[in-house]
Structure 1
Amino acid sequence: MAYDRYIAICQPLHYRTILGSRACVHMAAAAWGSGFLNALLHTANTFSLPLCHGNVVDQFFCEIPQILKLSCSDSGYRREFGLLVFTAFIYFACFVFIVLSYVQIFRVVLRIPSEHGRHKAFSTCLPHLAVVSLFISTAFFAYLKPLSFSSPSLDLVVAVLYSVVPPTLNPFIYSMRNRELKDAVKELIQRTLFYQQ
């Protein structure tokens, strides 16, 4: 999304040549492939961990830090921690790429002479940047915090913040730019308020 916005705002005349169907397929394949490889490595390592502290995970889904709490193997824990650090490095590199893309976008947007043009560009970029920042910061906190800093309620809140909130917000962020959807939401709110009175 950040690269798409970067090309659309910073190089609009080259948009179709840079982001053709081939480039989109390559970017989607890279994202899906890296996600699959990451999941495969973590799953293989998790299944190799001996569990000796029970079999109840204090979470609403089975995530890696919670499984590591049940493990009694130091070598498996170190191996998984190494995988988590590697994954965090990749996420951080993606985050740096996104931030650099948005720095370039904001430099171009701030040079737009019309207030309406600047507002339109910021309205498409800031929500995406906010959701990505929320996801990455809470995921870093969930996976890389020390075990001594862990509590079940804090773990649950952080897990909801990175696993439920961003995917829930994405449809609203990307569809609220659509005029028809905005009008439908306004009408729904007005009907709801009218029926309550």
Structure 2
Amino acid sequence: IFLTFYFFLAGEMSSLHLNQSGPTEFVFRVLTTSPKIQILLFCFFLLLYIMILCGNSAIIGVVCAYSSLHTPMYFFLSNLSSLEICYTSTTVPLMLSNIFGTQKPISLAGCGAQMLFFLTFGGADCFLLAVIAYDRYVAICHPLHYTLIMTQQLCIQMVVGSLGLAICLTLPLTALVCSVPFCGHRLEINHFLCDAPPVLRLACEDTHIHQAILYVVGIFVLVIPFLLICISYFFIAITILRIRSAEGRRRAFSTCSSHLTVVLLQYGCCSLVYLRPRSSTSEDEDRQFALVYTFVIPLLNPLIYTLRNKDVKEALRKSVSRKATSETL
């Protein structure tokens, strides 16, 4: 499905490109020109990428394998891990291929396709974090009605709706960014991926309208879901404070602390890239923040949820024990 959609988008971008005197390709600025540092960076980022794939795949496999984890909370968690895998796989392989100093060109169509997938999976990630906050709100504030409210059909609709809403917001934005006129036939992007802000910096015309639309999309993807998360946790905090036993308050808070940690990391870094005024940002800062939400957050997600969740840790322990037993036999 992704490949079919990629080639469809590539055709659309190519036809769009024929109608403007823009570049035929982009190149990414190399991180360093030192061969030794290039090898170290390649090995380091490759190791992080493998850890991201293994960690998130382990969560998906454990949730699917154990019926005790077939609940809305773990259903959302496994989908979040799936988005993290797609999210990093959109950018990291191309980044690794360009790390050794050879500037491999990417066409306008390819750049637009990468931008679309990167923004779509990132936006769906943010929406899904808001959905998880609502799930925690229902579980803590309305525990007796939890199974009646969080039905399987509603959970599927929320996940599909998160991805669909992200596509509806990012597809027009990607088309708008790729339709601006560029000066030259081969331009260098001071980044390791085709993101909207660094591509807009290469435009030949005034991009204030494009920047305004980018801020509007950022508000829908970042600000509104974050406000909904804050509202959910406001009512959750009130409910937790009403619990008389200290053990009950601790257990209720432990189910939310992992999610809050991920929310602060995800929304904090993304807001610094997409919601800050362009005059107060630099390309190098954007690239540094992009490294955080491309590598660090997808890597921390499985670690945070695993280390802070007894059910997942127990399921992982059983999986390891079964594998060790089968290998022994």
Partner of 2:189, secondary structure, is coil
> Structure 2: how far apart are the matches of 1:183 and 1:30?
29
Partner of 2:292, secondary structure, is helix
> Structure 2: how far apart are the matches of 1:38 and 1:126?
29
Are 1:21 and 2:152 an aligned pair? yes
Q: Is the 8 A contact 1:138 1:161 kept in 2?
A: yes
> Structure 2: how far apart are the matches of 1:72 and 1:38?
25
User: 1:61 pairs with 193, 196, 200, which one?
Assistant: 193
Deviations 1:17-53 (A, max 9, x none): 1010121122112201111112211221122011227
- Corresponding residue number in structure 2 for 1:122: 253
User: 1:88 pairs with 214, 218, 224, which one?
Assistant: 218
Deviates more, 1:115-124 or 1:4-13: 115-124
Q: Is the 8 A contact 1:51 1:70 kept in 2?
A: yes
> Structure 2: how far apart are the matches of 1:168 and 1:58?
24
Q: Pairwise CA RMSD of aligned residues?
A: 2.3
Are 1:156 and 2:287 an aligned pair? yes
> Structure 2: how far apart are the matches of 1:161 and 1:6?
28
> Structure 2: how far apart are the matches of 1:88 and 1:137?
12
Post-superposition shift, 1:184? 7.2
Amino acid aligned to 1:85: Y
Are 1:40 and 2:148 an aligned pair? no
> Structure 2: how far apart are the matches of 1:131 and 1:175?
13
Post-superposition shift, 1:121? 1.7
Post-superposition shift, 1:72? 1.1
Amino acid aligned to 1:97: L
Q: Matches of residues 95-114 of structure 1 in structure 2 within 5 Å?
A: 95-114=226-245
> Structure 2: how far apart are the matches of 1:184 and 1:28?
25
> Structure 1: how far apart are the matches of 2:277 and 2:140?
41
Partner of 2:285, secondary structure, is helix
Amino acid aligned to 2:250: H
Deviations 1:142-186 (A, max 9, x none): 12323332334322221123333322222122223135737979x
Partner of 1:110, secondary structure, is helix
Partner of 1:62, secondary structure, is coil
> Structure 2: how far apart are the matches of 1:179 and 1:146?
43
Partner of 2:228, secondary structure, is helix
Q: Is the 8 A contact 1:7 1:15 kept in 2?
A: yes
> Structure 2: how far apart are the matches of 1:83 and 1:180?
41
Q: Is the 8 A contact 2:176 2:210 kept in 1?
A: yes
Amino acid aligned to 2:180: L
* Residues 1:127 and 1:143: Cα distance change in structure 2 (over 3 Å): same
* Residues 1:179 and 1:12: Cα distance change in structure 2 (over 3 Å): closer
- Structure 2 unaligned residues grouped into runs of 5+: 1-131, 318-329
Q: Is the 8 A contact 1:136 1:162 kept in 2?
A: no
Give the TM-score normalised by the residue count of structure 2: 0.51
Q: Is the 8 A contact 1:50 1:73 kept in 2?
A: yes
Higher relative contact order (CA 8 A, sep 6+): 2
* Residues 1:80 and 1:121: Cα distance change in structure 2 (over 3 Å): same
Deviates more, 1:162-171 or 1:104-113: 162-171
> Structure 1: how far apart are the matches of 2:297 and 2:290?
11
- Structure 1 unaligned residues grouped into runs of 5+: 186-197
Amino acid aligned to 1:82: A
> Structure 1: how far apart are the matches of 2:312 and 2:237?
28
